[in-house]
Structures are given as structure tokens and as C-alpha cells.
């Protein structure tokens, strides 16, 4: 990697919003201040010329723990084992600093999380000698032949128990005090406005007197020609709600009491939209929607468009242009508009989130529309295009929640699924008028005997990818109404009461000596498809008992091809050899896992606390001897 000046790298900074984010200072940070888990680098194992500096305050007046680690250059390294109490995604903050003016430019080292490469710890050139900087580890990329960095969308995955983080010299010349893991709430993506360019009557406030901001500061809008422009990285294409965190100047004696509103441009468009900061925001920061401005009992507010904002994956731009001025602006928040999963494990996409063409519009006059809005086709040729994501590819039955207002005319819409031609339909007869009904997306067949079309859902469902597009266009008469599309997985398993499923790992937790025949016949219910038990390699088997590592495989067939749509792994805690029983073989296996510190042995964690240790051995012994467990 070339050593280049990285003064512009923060212009694309993306931070995933944890439950609580701190205000960074130049002093050493504690895990409590970051609402995270802190680990000291001096407790790691050094390699090359890397050295531990213990209790030496000649350069740094303060540091966490007993010292820090210094990397001189390439070949130096330090590896730290971190024990994480709960599996999940974490933002990884690196607390680093410069020790000499000899290294005047930004410093950059490689980072490996659980041996996975591709990340970097960056210490900006603006970090003063002897001062600490806390920054998220990032990935590197090139844009216009310039090396830039951006944090990892979604953070890094850590397992419960022991994990490793390795720091390896790339440029060298920096000290590393600690790392801090902050659990991620992935509901929002956050972009700090202080990393943008503030022009004219606006200014960037770092470490200012106004409390409660995220990141390192915020942007002020002082006058009518003020503006701030921020480039930001979107991790995936889709529709997003957009908010700007704002604060009225009225607090603390500043000028500008009252409602505030600034203009907002997205990717240099010319659409009229606002971010409104209500007068009540003088008491603290508020998340103000970007969009149409409106008055609510004398209070100025703004709201997102119903469909949200369509943003492409990659770099985008937002510009806030002063209209009234007189507010602080902290950051931009994005929330992905995704399908809603129901209690029945179906997925719902609102029709009004689509792109409308010709004679299609969004309305809210009919009662009982879900999410209050729906799409109406008021002329032939009206069309709505829905781009949406599903959590997994597979076969789905698709239903439209439709409404027919006519007492004597049937309604029909053409449907195109992904790149397939228009060959499916939504048919709502006038006999169902006056109420919302779920109508299947189906093929149409003309029945000569009855002189009319008949509509039959695809028996095996439609195969959908994780990213999909559905176009709906009026076919008869126009004047159709669609509220939402409902996606029902064809081969969804419903387990009998008392059987536990871990939805994060797709593990089915079973007691010992569970009958495989009883499970298949009485413990599961399939909406569609077939179920089979396989061994670890996927070979179909007919065991008497269910053992750890066996799999439950759900599949559907179109008459020619059998397609696996879901797969689960059975876990019987205490049964590590996979025969469904507790025996001396299992006891030996768990003892070996304790000796080798193997916390990943499937079925070995009897206590289910993330570690395999002597307590698990004791618990298995008691179970085998029939001794009641406390």
C-alpha cells in the first residue's frame, strides 16, 4: 500500500449507530465511556520489533491499563485474545496515537479479526503527538486513483467466548493503547456531518459546548448563505428513510429561537425538500425527517416521502443549504425500508414503496389499509415497480392485498416477476368488492365450460432471489387498488410446542433419545414441500434417534428438479458423537474440548454459556447418573 496523504479520507466516513455513541476526547478512553468492551494491547503477544511500553508517561500522560504497544514498521505485530460475552456484530474502535513529529502524516496498520484480513487502523495526521485518537477500523478502497478508507457496514462478527484481533505493521510509527468493541444496533446507518465541507456562513464545531452530539462534533448554520456538503457511502442499493439530527440555537442563550428549516439536496438533484427543526428542539437533539415541510399546531415539522429515498450502492451526496439558518446539524441517519416479517414468517412489502408510472398514484382514503397508504391505478397502463429484498432465496407463494370498488366489473393486473415476461395476474372479481382481500398471484386459464378465466396459484410457488423486482400493470379497466404484496415461504417448518429453534444459527435443540420417526410425523408441520433427515454430509438417512450434527432438510419439487429451500442442524446438548445418546464417548469428547480450549464442539456446551469447561463435564456426568440438576 502506498503512503499517501489521507486528509480527505473522512469525507466518506460511515458509522453504524450503536445503542449509545460517545463524544471522543483526546484523552485515553475507558470502555464505560464508550458503552463497550475495552481490551488492552499490552496484554497481547508481540511479534517482530513491536514493543510493549509499560508505565512510561514520557510521551503519553495517560493511557488505559498498564501501558501500550508501539509498532515500528512492516513485520511488527501484536495479537490479542478478546473474550466476548455475547455473539453478535460490533463496531471495533482502535485507540491509537503518534509519538513523534517524525511521522507527520496519517499512520495506517493492518487489522485481522479472527484471522480475516482486509481492515485497517488509521491514526489521522491531525492527532497531536502524545494524544490518543479513537477511530473505527476501516476497509481501504481506491476512487479516482486516490486511496480512501471507510468503516465496515454492519461492523464485525464476533462469537461468544474467545476471539482474536491482530494488529500488523504496515506504515508503522504509531502507538496502540487498546481496542473497544461497541455492540451495533444496525437499524440505522450514521454519517457525521463534521466530516463534510462547510462553506460560507457555516462552521464545523469539534468538541463544542453543546452536549450530546455523536462523533467528534457538528455543523453550525449561522447565515442565509451557509451550506454543508457530505459524500457518504451506502452499503446496499434500496429505499431508505432519511433523518438529520438537529438542535435549535435557542438553547444556552444562542440566537435563533423558533422553528427552523433548511433546504436539502440529494445527489445534486433540484427537488424541493426540507429538514425542519421544531422550536421544541431547544432542549436537546432530535431526529428530523428529510422531505416535505408541514405545520402541526403551530410547530414546523418535516416528513419522509412515503416511498423513502432510492439510493444506489456506493458513494452518494447530501447537501444542506441554509434557508432560515439558526440550528446545529450533527449527522445524517439512514434506515433501510425492508420487507416486514409477520408472526407467521411471511414477508410483506408495501405497494406504495414502489416506483409509480403513468396512471398510478398513492392514496389513503380507504379505511384499514396497512401502513395507511395504498396504490391506486386510475387509468389503463398504470404501473408500480417494487424492488425488495428477502432474507433467503427460495420458493414463495405471492399474494396481493387488493380492493375492488366496483359492483359489476372484475379487476385484473399483469405481473412480471424479475426478468420473466408478463405471464401472471392478480384477479379480483366484483363479487369480492367492498373489502380488502388477499388474492394469489397466479396463472390464468380460460375455461370453455364456464366461459371465463380461472386462476390457479403456482403449486410449487415462484422462485425468488434475495434481491427481486416485481412490476404490476393494469390489464382490465384500470381503477385497481393494491395495498401490499405478501410472500409466503413454500416450505416453512412449524415446530411442535416445546421444541426450541435458534433462528440465528438455524439449530433445532432436541432432548436426548428423541425418536426421528416421531419428530417427522408429529413434531413438525410443513406448509408445502417435503422434509428429510440427513447426516452431516447431506446424505439422506433413516435413524432411530436424532443426534447432534444431523440435518433437517426441507425441499420442494417442480416435477423435474428438487430444490432445497431450508436446512436446519440438530443439536442435542451432551451428545457430541451424534448418536442421540449420552455415553462415555461423549464424556471423553467434551474433556478433550476442555483441554484443547475448543468452544466450538457442537453439543458440548451443556450449560449453553458460550464456553466448554469443567462444569459441562460435571453436568453430563450427573445427567448420565440420573442425578437431578440444580
Of the ranges 116-125, 196-205, 324-333, 604-613, which one carries the lowest mean pLDDT score?
196-205
Q: Which among 327-341, 471-485, 570-584 has the top mean pLDDT?
A: 570-584
Give the rounded distance of the alpha carbon of 320 from its chain centre: 26
Q: Mean pLDDT across the chain, nearest whole number?
A: 79
pLDDT confidence band for 25 (50 / 70 / 90): very low
- Average of pLDDT values for 124-132? 76
- Average of pLDDT values for 80-87? 84
Please give the pLDDT value at position 253. 38
- Average of pLDDT values for 67-79? 90
Q: Is the pLDDT of residue 1 over 50?
A: no
Secondary element (H or E) of residue 317: strand 314-321
Of the ranges 111-115, 167-171, 216-220, 598-602, which one carries the lowest mean pLDDT score?
216-220
Separation of alpha carbons 177 and 54, rounded Å: 11
Separation of alpha carbons 458 and 465, rounded Å: 17
Please give the pLDDT value at position 585. 95
Please give the pLDDT value at position 58. 77
Q: pLDDT tens-digit profile of 426-444?
A: 999 888 988 999 999 988 7
Of 65, 63, 83, nearest to 133 by C-alpha is 63
pLDDT confidence band for 182 (50 / 70 / 90): confident
Of the ranges 41-55, 65-79, 101-115, 272-286, which one carries the lowest mean pLDDT score?
272-286
Q: How many CA atoms lie within 13 A of 287 on its CB side?
A: 11
Q: Is the pLDDT of residue 177 over 50?
A: yes
Separation of alpha carbons 496 and 529, rounded Å: 18
Please give the pLDDT value at position 29. 34
Please give the pLDDT value at position 570. 95
Q: Is the pLDDT of residue 48 over 80?
A: yes
- For cell 508503522, what's the residue? 172
Q: Which among 60-64, 279-283, 286-290, 624-628 has the top mean pLDDT?
A: 286-290
Q: pLDDT tens-digit profile of 543-602?
A: 999 999 999 998 877 566 677 777 889 999 999 999 999 999 999 999 999 999 999 999
How far does the chain reach from its first CA to its final CA, in angstroms?
A: 57
- Average of pLDDT values for 477-486? 87
Please give the pLDDT value at position 206. 66
Q: β-strand 51-54 against 45-47: which pairing, if any?
A: unpaired
More confident residue, 28 or 392: 392
Q: How many CA atoms lie within 13 A of 38 on its CB side?
A: 18
Q: For the chain, list the domains and their CATH numbers.
A: 9-184 (2.60.120.260), 196-336 (2.60.120.260), 340-489 (2.60.120.260), 493-625 (1.10.1330.10)
pLDDT confidence band for 364 (50 / 70 / 90): confident
Residues in the chain, overall count: 630
Of the ranges 197-201, 449-453, 530-534, 560-564, which one carries the lowest mean pLDDT score?
197-201
- Average of pLDDT values for 229-257? 70
Phi/psi class of residue 26: alpha, beta or left (left: φ > 0; alpha: ψ in -120 to 50)?
Answer: alpha
Please give the pLDDT value at position 326. 72
More confident residue, 96 or 457: 96
pLDDT confidence band for 297 (50 / 70 / 90): confident
Residue 618 grid cell: 460435571
* Percent residues over pLDDT 90 in the chain: 24
More confident residue, 389 or 539: 539
pLDDT confidence band for 200 (50 / 70 / 90): low
Q: Is the pLDDT of residue 414 over 70?
A: yes
Please give the pLDDT value at position 376. 92
Q: pLDDT tens-digit profile of 275-296?
A: 988 765 455 788 889 988 888 7
Question: What are 331's strand-pairing partners?
Answer: 192, 245
Please give the pLDDT value at position 343. 62
Of the ranges 173-177, 471-475, 573-577, which one carries the lowest mean pLDDT score?
173-177
Q: Is the pLDDT of residue 71 over 70?
A: yes
Q: Is the pLDDT of residue 332 over 80?
A: yes
- SS3 sequence, 200-249? CCEEEEECCCCCCCCECEEEEECCCCCEEEEEEEECCCEEEEEEEEEEEC
Q: pLDDT tens-digit profile of 487-524?
A: 988 766 667 767 788 767 889 999 888 999 888 888 87
- Average of pLDDT values for 601-626? 91
Q: Is the pLDDT of residue 327 over 50?
A: yes
Amino acid at each position: 500500500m502506498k503512503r499517501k496523504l489521507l486528509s480527505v479520507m473522512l469525507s466518506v466516513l460511515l458509522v453504524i449507530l450503536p445503542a449509545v455513541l460517545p463524544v471522543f476526547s483526546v484523552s485515553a478512553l475507558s470502555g464505560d465511556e464508550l458503552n463497550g468492551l475495552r481490551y488492552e494491547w499490552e496484554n497481547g503477544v508481540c511479534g517482530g520489533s513491536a514493543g510493549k511500553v509499560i508505565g512510561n508517561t514520557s510521551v503519553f500522560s495517560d493511557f488505559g491499563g498498564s501501558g501500550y504497544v508501539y509498532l515500528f514498521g512492516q513485520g511488527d505485530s501484536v495479537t490479542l485474545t478478546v473474550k466476548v460475552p455475547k455473539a453478535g456484530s460490533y463496531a471495533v474502535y482502535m485507540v491509537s496515537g503518534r509519538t513523534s513529529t517524525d511521522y507527520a502524516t496519517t499512520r495506517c496498520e493492518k487489522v485481522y479479526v479472527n484471522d480475516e484480513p482486509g481492515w485497517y487502523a488509521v491514526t489521522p495526521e491531525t492527532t497531536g503527538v502524545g494524544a490518543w485518537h479513537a477511530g473505527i477500523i476501516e476497509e481501504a478502497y481506491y476512487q479516482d486513483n486516490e486511496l480512501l478508507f471507510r468503516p465496515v457496514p454492519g461492523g464485525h462478527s464476533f462469537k461468544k467466548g474467545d476471539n482474536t484481533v491482530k494488529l500488523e505493521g504496515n506504515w508503522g510509527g504509531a502507538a496502540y493503547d487498546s481496542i473497544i468493541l461497541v455492540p451495533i444496533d444496525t437499524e440505522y446507518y450514521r454519517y457525521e456531518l463534521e466530516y463534510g465541507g462547510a462553506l460560507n456562513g457555516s462552521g464545523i464545531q469539534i468538541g463544542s459546548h453543546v452536549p450530546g452530539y455523536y462523533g467528534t462534533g457538528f455543523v453550525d448554520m449561522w447565515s442565509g448563505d451557509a451550506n454543508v456538503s457530505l459524500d457518504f457511502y451506502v452499503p446496499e442499493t434500496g429505499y431508505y428513510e432519511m433523518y438529520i439530527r438537529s438542535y435549535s440555537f435557542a438553547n444556552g442563550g444562542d440566537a435563533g429561537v423558533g422553528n427552523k428549516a433548511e433546504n436539502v439536496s440529494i445527489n445534486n438533484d433540484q427537488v424541493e425538500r426540507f429538514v425542519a427543526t421544531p422550536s421544541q428542539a431547544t432542549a436537546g437533539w432530535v431526529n428530523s425527517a428529510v422531505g416535505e415541510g408541514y405545520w402541526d399546531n403551530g410547530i414546523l415539522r418535516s416528513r419522509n416521502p412515503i416511498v423513502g429515498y432510492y439510493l444506489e450502492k456506493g458513494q452518494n451526496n447530501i447537501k444542506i443549504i441554509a434557508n432560515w439558518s439558526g440550528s446545529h446539524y450533527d449527522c445524517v441517519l439512514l434506515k433501510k425500508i425492508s420487507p416486514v416479517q409477520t408472526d407467521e414468517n411471511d414477508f410483506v412489502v408495501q405497494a406504495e414503496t414502489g416506483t409509480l408510472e403513468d396512471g398510478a398514484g398513492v392514496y389513503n382514503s380507504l379505511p384499514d389499509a396497512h401502513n395507511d397508504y395504498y396504490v391506486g391505478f386510475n387509468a389503463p397502463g398504470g404501473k408500480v415497480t417494487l424492488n425488495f429484498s428477502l432474507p433467503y432465496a427460495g420458493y414463495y407463494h405471492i399474494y396481493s392485498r387488493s380492493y375492488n370498488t366496483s359492483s359489476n366489473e372484475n379487476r385484473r393486473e399483469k405481473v412480471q416477476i424479475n426478468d420473466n415476461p408478463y405471464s401472471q395476474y392478480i384477479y379480483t372479481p366484483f363479487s369480492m368488492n367492498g373489502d380488502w382481500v388477499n388474492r394469489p398471484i397466479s396463472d390464468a386459464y380460460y375455461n370453455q365450460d364456464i366461459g371465463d378465466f380461472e386462476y390457479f396459484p403456482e403449486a410449487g410457488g415462484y422462485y425468488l432471489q434475495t434481491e427481486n423486482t416485481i412490476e404490476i400493470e393494469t390489464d382490465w379497466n384500470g381503477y385497481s387498488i393494491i395495498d401490499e404484496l405478501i410472500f409466503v415461504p413454500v416450505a416453512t417448518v412449524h415446530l411442535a410446542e416445546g421444541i426450541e429453534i435458534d433462528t440465528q444459527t438455524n439449530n433445532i435443540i432436541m432432548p436426548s433419545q428423541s425418536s426421528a420417526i416421531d419428530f417427522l410425523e408429529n413434531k413438525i408441520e410443513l406448509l408445502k414441500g417435503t422434509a428429510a433427515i440427513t447426516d452431516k454430509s447431506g446424505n439422506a438417512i433413516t435413524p432411530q434417534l436424532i443426534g447432534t450434527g444431523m440435518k433437517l432438510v426441507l425441499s420442494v419439487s417442480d416435477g423435474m428438479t428438487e430444490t432445497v429451500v431450508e436446512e436446519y442442524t440438530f443439536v442435542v446438548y451432551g451428545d457430541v458423537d451424534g448418536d442421540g445418546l449420552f455415553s462415555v464417548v461423549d464424556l471423553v469428547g467434551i474433556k478433550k474440548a476442555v483441554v484443547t480450549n475448543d468452544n466450538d464442539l457442537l453439543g458440548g456446551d451443556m450449560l449453553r454459556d458460550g464456553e466448554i469447561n469443567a462444569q459441562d463435564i460435571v453436568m453430563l456426568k450427573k445427567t448420565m447418573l440420573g442425578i437431578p440438576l440444580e
